[in-house]
């Protein structure tokens, strides 16, 4: 299909042709017909006995006929967005919320610290300040569809296949891949999601206030557009990915989101108290609080009082369970206890309430009796969550929470932290753990068996290793536990030792844990686990989650420092051809950290032939640099000449776990 570029200069707000071009099909036809008939009536009334009557009458009838004929002609290839300005957050649509603006006058410091967080910018109205991608008219293509992001009169638009048509067609069972010329529309970008790692964009539906996602995200570090199908860990044959903001994202990326589905018409008239994760998401509705404290005497009396203010919730003053539930309303995996009610008014939970009255968390069950899509991939076999953003599920399984009083606020702060990780000041390193485990402050090396200033002595690295995944990176587990080679062998969950010492085997880890901590030796290790680097086994034989996590860890500076840097190119080159797009992307990010390969061009969503050529180039560079090793490297599948043991390599690769996996990020 020939692409039709839309130039900003052709969209002047007072240009008649531009105005006509922005009309819907129906509006244009009615407009022509009305003008023609009106002109006919005027001519008959004004020029009853004039020859000019016939001329004007003929012209008017011709114009009217054009309108009728246009109505009968096939639709134009592009229909523009002239939807009414319907806002998700009109005032007073969600009960007794005051908005973050109302908090600022009395709490300017906390408001300012929240304002600079990524929570505040999670969901924003599209504007020149919030949109981070280049809407420059460059053509984007994916899965047989083309998209053209544009700037028009200072606004952000995209020419695309009609998302309403595609959604309806899919529900009707139509194979979208077989439709090469779907209706096309020009839709305005009305909202953004994200500002930290990548950013997504939303356009309005023609029905209600349903929002469709532009099926591309803009990756900020890479400065590139990525199809959404390739931005998430999902099988390569999983098909198209469509997202509707109102049916999922609304529950966490806004305050008090309400889908408001009309069951009769199936139209969504969604409302939120405020976009993004704002003050009242964590402190509860502020309407009563604001009304009460408009009286300055009341404000000062409250400040002098030792009693908590009953009109607002302060998570720092709650017990560790209620405090953590405030975060758990989003950093969790769950479903509503009353689904029909949720479709009307969303989750009724407010900060300080009992979370499980509204939410049914996806708790792990070993026999998976309560099998859901999240259960099938969201947990390791030992019940540890492995999806980033679901950290509440890990923390509540930790002994520090179950037998102690650890909460999210034991480490994190919304108002006194670096927005990147939101670790509270003084708690970025071992400080968080030493709040309770103070005895290790003076005997650190005897406890860790690592140098005190090394990464091996950091509490987080041993007890919260990077074993969950989201957003093109591995993320720390929030289930605080101890490394175990036996657990890794039985559950597949990588342990902290082998995620840092990536050149070592599970047997090596078992031996050291036994020697240092009197842990029982791992009894279930097979020959490969005793003789081959655990990282290599996860990269070659592992499932997609294991592969993406080890791809990231192979590039970790701390791991490279203790594991050498002369062999990682082998598994990373292999992962450049992985079936999963995110595995390829993460592998490439790690490979670029090794100087010989940093400048090689590679596109993780390029053609298979292009990806194979880059892998070949990487291996050729690696081979050219190899010499007979000074030590035995058979555990790295490198033979006595310093070259790859292809036979053993290919055997392990043939055993790769290709179980289809789609992480619900």
- 591-599: which pairs have CB atoms within 8 A and are 24 or more residues apart? 591/555, 591/618, 592/555, 593/555, 593/557, 593/560, 594/565, 594/568, 594/569, 596/569, 596/621, 596/622, 596/625, 597/569, 597/621
300-309, 324-333, 520-529: least confident range: 300-309
Where is the domain boundary, 252, 284, 301? 252
Residues 45 and 158 in one domain: no
Does some domain include residue 644? yes
Average pLDDT over residues 16-25: 35
Residues 562 and 492 in one domain: yes
Which ranges constitute the DSSP H helices of 518-566?
A: 527-531, 534-541, 544-553, 557-563
Categorize the per-residue pLDDT at 93 as very low, low, confident or very high, splitting at 50, 70 and 90. low
Whether pLDDT at 115 is above 90: yes
Query: For a pLDDT cut of 70, what percent of the chain falls above it?
Result: 84
CA 479/CA 66 separation, integer angstroms: 69
Q: What pLDDT, on the 0 to 100 scale, is given for residue 95?
A: 78
**Chain-centre distance of CA 237, in angstroms?**
20
Does some domain include residue 370? no
Q: What pLDDT, on the 0 to 100 scale, is given for residue 37?
A: 54
Give per-residue pLDDT as tens, 362-385.
Answer: 877 665 555 455 666 889 999 999
Average pLDDT over residues 73-101: 59
Q: What pLDDT, on the 0 to 100 scale, is given for residue 362?
A: 86
CB–CB of 191/202 below 8 Å? yes
Count of residues in the chain = 665
Categorize the per-residue pLDDT at 8 as very low, low, confident or very high, splitting at 50, 70 and 90. very low
Q: Judging by DSSP bridges, how do beta strands 184-193 and 78-80 pair with one another?
A: parallel
Residues 46 and 134 in one domain: no
Q: What pLDDT, on the 0 to 100 scale, is given for residue 67?
A: 45
Whether pLDDT at 36 is above 60: no
Does some domain include residue 132? yes
Where is the domain boundary, 252, 282, 308? 252
CA 149/CA 134 separation, integer angstroms: 8
Residues 169 and 36 in one domain: no
Facing residues of 274 across strands?
Answer: 255
Q: What pLDDT, on the 0 to 100 scale, is given for residue 485?
A: 97
Residues 132 and 198 in one domain: yes
Residues 165 and 43 in one domain: no
Categorize the per-residue pLDDT at 410 as very low, low, confident or very high, splitting at 50, 70 and 90. very high
Does some domain include residue 362? no
Categorize the per-residue pLDDT at 296 as very low, low, confident or very high, splitting at 50, 70 and 90. confident
Categorize the per-residue pLDDT at 547 as very low, low, confident or very high, splitting at 50, 70 and 90. very high
Residues 518 and 619 in one domain: yes
Q: What pLDDT, on the 0 to 100 scale, is given for residue 28?
A: 44
Whether pLDDT at 55 is above 80: no
Q: What pLDDT, on the 0 to 100 scale, is given for residue 336?
A: 95
CA 663/CA 465 separation, integer angstroms: 19
Whether pLDDT at 80 is above 60: no
- Taking residue 586's Cβ as centre, other Cβ atoms within 10 Å add up to 29
Whether pLDDT at 94 is above 80: no
Give per-residue pLDDT as tens, 211-263.
Answer: 999 999 999 999 999 999 999 999 999 988 889 999 999 999 999 999 999 99
Give per-residue pLDDT as tens, 584-603.
Answer: 999 999 999 999 999 999 99
Whether pLDDT at 30 is above 90: no
Give per-residue pLDDT as tens, 413-450.
Answer: 999 999 999 999 988 889 999 999 998 998 899 999 99
Q: What pLDDT, on the 0 to 100 scale, is given for residue 88?
A: 66
Does some domain include residue 337? no
Q: What pLDDT, on the 0 to 100 scale, is given for residue 42?
A: 53
CB–CB of 340/332 below 8 Å? no
Give per-residue pLDDT as tens, 609-628.
Answer: 999 999 999 999 999 988 88
Does some domain include residue 293? no
Residues 615 and 492 in one domain: yes
Q: What pLDDT, on the 0 to 100 scale, is given for residue 566?
A: 86
CA 270/CA 247 separation, integer angstroms: 9
Does some domain include residue 332? no
Whether pLDDT at 71 is above 80: no
Q: What is the mean pLDDT of the chain?
A: 87
Does some domain include residue 171? yes
Residues 648 and 585 in one domain: yes
Please return the burial class of 632, using the count of CB atoms within 10 Å of its CB with bins 0-12, 13-18 and 19+.
exposed
Residues 43 and 191 in one domain: no
Give per-residue pLDDT as tens, 316-337.
Answer: 999 999 999 999 999 999 999 9
Residues 167 and 243 in one domain: yes
Average pLDDT over residues 134-145: 95
355-359, 373-377, 389-393, 516-520: least confident range: 373-377
Q: What pLDDT, on the 0 to 100 scale, is given for residue 13?
A: 30
Residues 54 and 181 in one domain: no
Categorize the per-residue pLDDT at 665 as very low, low, confident or very high, splitting at 50, 70 and 90. confident
Q: Which domain holds residue 127?
A: 123-252
Whether pLDDT at 640 is above 50: yes
Whether pLDDT at 75 is above 70: no
Give the count of domains, the chain: 3
């Amino acid at each position: 299909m020939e692409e039709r570029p839309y130039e900003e200069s052709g969209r002047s707000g007072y240009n008649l042709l531009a105005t006509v071009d922005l009309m819907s099909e129906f509006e244009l036809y009615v407009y022509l017909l009305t003008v023609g008939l009106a002109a006919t009536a005027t001519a008959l009334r004004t020029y009853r006995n004039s020859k000019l009557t016939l001329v004007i009458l003929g012209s008017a009838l011709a114009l009217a006929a054009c309108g009728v004929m246009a109505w009968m002609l096939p639709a134009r290839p592009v229909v523009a967005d002239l939807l009414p300005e319907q806002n998700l957050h009109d005032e007073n649509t969600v009960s007794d919320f005051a908005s973050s603006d109302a908090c600022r006058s009395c709490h300017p410091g906390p408001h300012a610290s929240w304002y600079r967080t990524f929570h505040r910018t999670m969901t924003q109205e599209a504007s020149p300040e919030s949109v981070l991608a280049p809407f420059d008219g460059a053509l984007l293509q994916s899965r047989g569809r083309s998209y053209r992001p544009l700037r028009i009169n200072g606004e952000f638009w995209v020419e695309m296949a009609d998302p309403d048509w595609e959604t309806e067609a899919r529900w009707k069972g139509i194979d979208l891949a077989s439709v090469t010329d779907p209706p096309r529309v020009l839709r305005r970008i009305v909202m953004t999601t994200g500002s930290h790692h990548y950013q997504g964009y939303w356009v309005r539906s023609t029905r209600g206030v349903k929002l469709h996602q532009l099926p591309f995200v803009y990756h900020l570090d890479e400065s590139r557009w990525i199809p959404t199908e390739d931005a998430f860990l999902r099988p390569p044959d999983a098909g198209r990915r469509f997202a509707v903001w109102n049916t999922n994202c609304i529950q966490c990326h806004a305050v008090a989101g309400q889908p408001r589905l009309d069951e009769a018409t199936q139209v969504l008239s969604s409302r939120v108290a405020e976009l993004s994760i704002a003050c009242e998401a964590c402190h509860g509705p502020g309407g009563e609080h604001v009304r009460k404290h408009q009286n300055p005497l009341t404000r000062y009396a409250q400040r002098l009082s030792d009693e908590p203010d009953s009109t607002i919730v302060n998570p720092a003053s709650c017990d560790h369970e209620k405090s953590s539930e405030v975060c758990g309303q989003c950093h969790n995996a769950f479903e509503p206890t009353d689904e029909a009610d949720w479709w009307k008014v969303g989750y009724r939970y407010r900060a300080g309430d009992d979370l499980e009255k509204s939410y049914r968390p996806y708790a792990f069950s070993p026999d998976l009796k309560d099998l859901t899509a999240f259960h099938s991939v969201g947990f390791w076999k030992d019940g540890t969550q492995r999806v980033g953003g679901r950290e509440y599920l890990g923390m509540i399984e930790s002994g520090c929470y179950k037998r102690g009083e650890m909460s999210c606020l034991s480490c994190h702060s919304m108002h006194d932290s670096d927005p990147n990780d939101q670790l509270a000041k003084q708690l970025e390193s071992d400080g968080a753990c030493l709040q309770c485990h103070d005895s290790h402050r003076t005997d650190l090396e005897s406890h860790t068996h690592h140098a005190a200033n090394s990464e091996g002595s950091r509490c987080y690295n041993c007890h919260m290793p990077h074993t969950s995944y989201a957003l093109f990176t591995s993320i720390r587990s929030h289930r605080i536990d101890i490394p175990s080679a036996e657990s890794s062998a039985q559950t597949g969950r990588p342990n902290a030792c082998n995620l840092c010492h990536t050149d070592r085997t599970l047997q090596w880890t078992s031996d050291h844990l036994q020697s240092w901590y009197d842990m029982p030796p791992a009894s279930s290790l097979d020959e490969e686990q005793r003789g081959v680097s655990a990282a290599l086994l996860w990269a070659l034989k592992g499932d997609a989650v294991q592969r993406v996590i080890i791809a990231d860890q192979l590039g970790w500076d701390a791991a490279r420092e203790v594991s050498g840097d002369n062999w990682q190119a082998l598994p990373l080159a292999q992962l450049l051809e992985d079936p999963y797009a995110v595995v390829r992307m993460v592998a490439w990010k790690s490979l670029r950290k090794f100087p010989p390969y940093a400048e090689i061009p590679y596109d993780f969503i390029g053609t298979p032939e292009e990806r194979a050529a880059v892998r070949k180039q990487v291996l050729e560079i690696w081979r050219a640099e190899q010499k007979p090793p000074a030590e035995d490297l058979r555990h790295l599948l490198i033979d006595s000449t310093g070259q790859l043991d292809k036979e053993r390599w290919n055997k392990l690769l043939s055993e790769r776990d290709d179980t289809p996996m789609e992480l619900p990020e």
